[in-house]
Structure 1
Amino acid sequence: MSNKVKIGISIGDVNGIGLEVILKTLANNSILDYCTPIVYGHTKVVSYHRKALGLTDFNFNVVTSASLANPKKANLINCWEEDVKIEIGVSTEIGGKYALLSLEKATEDLVNGEIDALVTAPINKFNIQSETFKFPGHTEYLQERSGSKDVLMFLISEDLRVGVVTGHIPLKDVASTITKDMIVQKLKMINESLKKDFWIEKPKIAVLGLNPHAGDNGLLGSEERDIIMPAIEEAFDKGIICFGPYPADGFFGNSTYKQFDAVLAMYHDQGLVPFKSIAFSTGVNYTAGLKFVRTSPDHGTGYDIAGKNVADPTSFIEALFAATHIVKNRREQEQLLNNQLRSGGKIIETASDVKDDAN
């Protein structure tokens, strides 16, 4: 049996660029040196996109379950039987329906341990809504399916990692939602993920302010003084190396982020706008805090360029590699701990130890 990491891939909206970046990625056979990809979709939908891209020499190995995946091939599981009407570049109810069928089957296999990680191609957060999907996005859906109490939207690249305290909520609700305990919890999650998933022994985390100029000593808002600073102090006392709050504009403008292993932003756009400006083509959205590994490219459905064979697959490739590396890092850490337990030696401090100590 192959020990290669099995990566499940949900296809996202069939009318967007999801299958284009998936196919461009998997057409490179060198990907198979790192992982065993398993796409959840349908042969006819994939064939439509494959022909549009002119990838006539590329074919999937069609299997009925992830357990039958060939580690030397790109694999495909058919998730439905009927024909699907494809309208490239258009948001349709059909696009949402089949994006959800792909996601549901892939997530089922992920939860059951049939695959080691999941990479999700972009969905349309509006047309995917249904009786079984009433979530702002992938992150919240996967949180419920995993049974995780809390998760962290963690944008990662080679040069920058950004987490957010509040995710998919209206901007008008951000200030009233943020609490000291919430910030401390997100810092714990970043700290744990950096240790467990990225093998950074002593992570250094920057915390951004909420208001312009980080409140300017209370002149422009009191959240920094009353909520954010106390959270930083509490987290630091619990062994998390964190500093701030920093004014977001100057922090990114003068590249202060390069001095840290990660950054905690207070809300979605405060973190994602600079991240995508700095690392758009190579950025990856990683959901930390789940019981399993999930990544995605950091772009959307790209309706405006769908079907034009111009979508850049770099972010999707990076998402595939990130999922593979994180699974391998977790495996190595688990093996290291098991070896130490068997040998009766002292167990080194792990991410879970840090979490327990912090509690």
Structure 2
Amino acid sequence: MRKAENVIVGISIGDLNGVGGEIILKTLEDDRILELFTPVIFASAKTITFLKNHFNLTLNFNGISNANQIITGKINVVNVWNDRVNIHFGEEDPAIGQYAIKSLFAATKALKEDAIDVLVTAPINKHTIQSDDFKFPGHTDYLAQELGGHSLMFMVNNTLRIGLLTDHVPVKDVASCITPELIKDKVQTVYKSLQQDFNIRRPKIAMLGINPHTGDHGVIGTEDDTIMRPTLQAINDTGKLVYGPYAADSFFGSGNYKNFDAIIAAYHDQGLIPFKTLSFGNGVNYTAGLSKIRTSPDHGTAFEIAGKGQADNNSFKEAIFLALKLYQNRMEYAELTKNPLVTPQKKI
């Protein structure tokens, strides 16, 4: 296992018209952070110099042409482009979106080639990033294609973990997307992540219902009775501790979420509204289930405050710290499972 300061954290720059550059540089301005890891920003020296000067930040960096030239203990900037980028904070700009793509592609390539150990992504604009080369609703789907595995959006803070059964799916299509196979796949991904990424030997997982009041015995929909309950029973029969479905409207307000190691929400807003209400600014978006570790802050580009020096970098900092912790936990788990006395968990 690498020493802490030698763990290489790759950082994609995100949408340059948003707050990504600001939160990255504010986080790295503290020299003490270089004792914890080696950061590598995928952008350009010209762009980082512009951002540093605009926000009046004091930090030194090492410009390099590729990720094989990384110097540990220094802030490294890979020159993915040499253009002088026209940054107009707060504006949606497809041209800026293309630089976000270039950064993400270069960082992902470095991650696949083990030039970096983990990836932390700054926020993108899902509209301006679309192109012939990038036709994904966001980071998660692209990274699932590139890194392999069964990806899952996992929102995490110190006391709360919420995974999504469906993520960027229109509400009108949610119920039709939920199948026994999908439920089993997502539960398996959450279960494995809790074990290998969070060191929880025997996880307890709660599943939220699809319909209001989990359908009220068919009065408000039948999916919870015909799909969710039989599938959860089948999962429980394998020995996994998965409970539900629970009515989502009272689950968090009652504090019931505190009784579980993770919660799986049926759809995007069912999970993210309570998560961001309880932990906005301290939460992290973790893509569980991949062969590599990727985290990001729990917010978007925040165009309304971009360029004003008002962005809070705490969530980005937490995303880095979580990535480091997950990297360490995975290394320890890999060593543990080499022990012939450790019996692999039965799959669903």
TM bracket, shorter-chain basis: over 0.9
Give the Cα separation in 2 of the matches to 1:32 and 1:270: 38
Give the Cα separation in 1 of the matches to 2:234 and 2:297: 34
Give the Cα separation in 2 of the matches to 1:183 and 1:129: 29
SS at match of 1:12: coil
The residue aligned with 1:164 is 164
1:10, 1:99 within 8 Å by CA — same for their partners in 2? yes
Q: Which amino acid letter does the alignment assign opposite residue 100 of structure 1?
A: I
Give the Cα separation in 1 of the matches to 2:24 and 2:335: 32
1:165, 1:267 within 8 Å by CA — same for their partners in 2? yes
Q: Which amino acid letter does the alignment assign opposite residue 214 of structure 2?
A: A
Give the Cα separation in 1 of the matches to 2:71 and 2:114: 17
For the pair 1:6 / 2:21, whether they are aligned, the reply is no
Give the Cα separation in 2 of the matches to 1:33 and 1:191: 32
SS at match of 2:303: coil
Report how far residue 2 of structure 1 moved: 6.0
Report how far residue 76 of structure 1 moved: 0.8
The residue aligned with 1:68 is 69
After superposition, where does 1:1-359 map in structure 2 within 5 Å?
A: 3=3, 4-55=6-57, 57-148=58-149, 150-338=150-338, 340=339, 346-349=340-343, 353-354=344-345, 357-359=346-348
1:188, 1:235 within 8 Å by CA — same for their partners in 2? no
Report the TM-score when normalising by structure 2. Answer: 0.97
Report how far residue 28 of structure 1 moved: 1.4
Q: Count residues with an aligned counterpart.
A: 346
Report how far residue 347 of structure 1 moved: 2.8
Cα deviations by residue, 1:182-233 (Å, 9 ceiling, x for unpaired): 1111111100000000001111100000111111122111111001111211
1:154, 1:288 within 8 Å by CA — same for their partners in 2? yes
Report how far residue 269 of structure 1 moved: 0.6
Give the Cα separation in 2 of the matches to 1:250 and 1:82: 52
> Which moves more between the two structures, 299-308 or 209-218?
209-218
CA RMSD of aligned residues (A): 1.3
Give the Cα separation in 2 of the matches to 1:2 and 1:164: 32
Structure 2 gaps of 5+ residues are none
Q: Which amino acid letter does the alignment assign opposite residue 225 of structure 1?
A: D
Give the Cα separation in 2 of the matches to 1:181 and 1:28: 46
SS at match of 1:154: strand
Q: Which amino acid letter does the alignment assign opposite residue 38 of structure 1?
A: V
Report how far residue 64 of structure 1 moved: 2.5
Give the Cα separation in 2 of the matches to 1:65 and 1:334: 29
Q: Which amino acid letter does the alignment assign opposite residue 53 of structure 1?
A: F
- Percentage of identical aligned residues: 47
Give the Cα separation in 2 of the matches to 1:65 and 1:79: 8
1:295, 1:323 within 8 Å by CA — same for their partners in 2? yes
Report how far residue 336 of structure 1 moved: 3.2
SS at match of 1:206: strand
Q: Which amino acid letter does the alignment assign opposite residue 341 of structure 2?
A: I
Q: Which amino acid letter does the alignment assign opposite residue 40 of structure 2?
A: I
Give the Cα separation in 2 of the matches to 1:238 and 1:260: 19
Give the Cα separation in 2 of the matches to 1:275 and 1:44: 37
1:2, 1:71 within 8 Å by CA — same for their partners in 2? no
SS at match of 1:304: helix
Q: Which amino acid letter does the alignment assign opposite residue 348 of structure 1?
A: V
After TM superposition, which residue ranges in structure 1, 4 or more long, deviate above 6 angstroms? none
SS at match of 1:333: helix
2:283, 2:318 within 8 Å by CA — same for their partners in 1? yes
Give the Cα separation in 1 of the matches to 2:261 and 2:168: 24
Report how far residue 143 of structure 1 moved: 0.7
1:39, 1:76 within 8 Å by CA — same for their partners in 2? yes
Give the Cα separation in 1 of the matches to 2:7 and 2:332: 13
The residue aligned with 1:343 is none
Q: Which amino acid letter does the alignment assign opposite residue 163 of structure 1?
A: G
